[in-house]
Amino acid sequence: MTVDRVKAFKSLRKALNTAPLLLMPDFNMPFKLYIDALGDGLGAALHQVQIINDKPVEGPICFISRKIKPTEARYGVTGLPPEVDRSYNASLVIVDRFSKTPIFLPCHKDDSAMDTALLIWNRVISWTGIFTNIISDRDPKFTSAL
């Protein structure tokens, strides 16, 4: 065996033995979401800082990635999302049933149905058009009085 092969084997063995472990999420601590869009794929990693052995350690909770479909590769960039206000404490998630494309809208936990409707009108319908079918998870925001 050559020296290069021995180094490669040792490097591979070290990488396999020290692979990062996924942490269990602690819902009392804030999360960090790292996202990346390359020329041919999308990826995201959800991280969290947790106290392990009396030291704060940032570690991964989950990873997700996928290759961009040929039809998606033809999409153009229409603009950047507006800057996010740090006072938001919730996120409204809307998923298009056909393209499986999620839309994440920062909001407040105590928003009324009117606030939610205005958020959807201003930030989603202008981009997608008017919905013909809305499926709710029975959230009180959709069933509360205006």
Give the tens place of pLDDT for each residue, 24-56: 898 888 899 998 887 788 899 999 998 888 888
Residues in the chain: 146
* CATH number listed for the domain at residues 18-76: 3.10.20.370
Q: pTM to 2 decimals?
A: 0.41
One digit per residue, pLDDT tens: the chain, 146 residues?
689 999 999 998 888 877 667 888 988 888 999 988 877 888 999 999 988 888 888 888 999 999 988 877 776 655 555 566 667 788 888 877 667 778 888 888 888 888 888 888 888 787 777 766 666 666 666 555 44
Helix (H) or strand (E) holding 114, with range, is helix 113-120
- Radius of gyration, CA atoms only, the chain: 21
CA dihedral 92, 98, 99, 105 (to 10 degrees): -10
The phi, psi pair for 6, rounded to 5°, reads -65, -45
17 SS3 class: helix
Please give the helix or strand (H or E) that residue 67 lies within, else none: strand 55-67
Q: How is 30-60 classified by DSSP, letter by letter?
A: -EEEEEEE-SSEEEEEEEEEEEETTEEEEEE
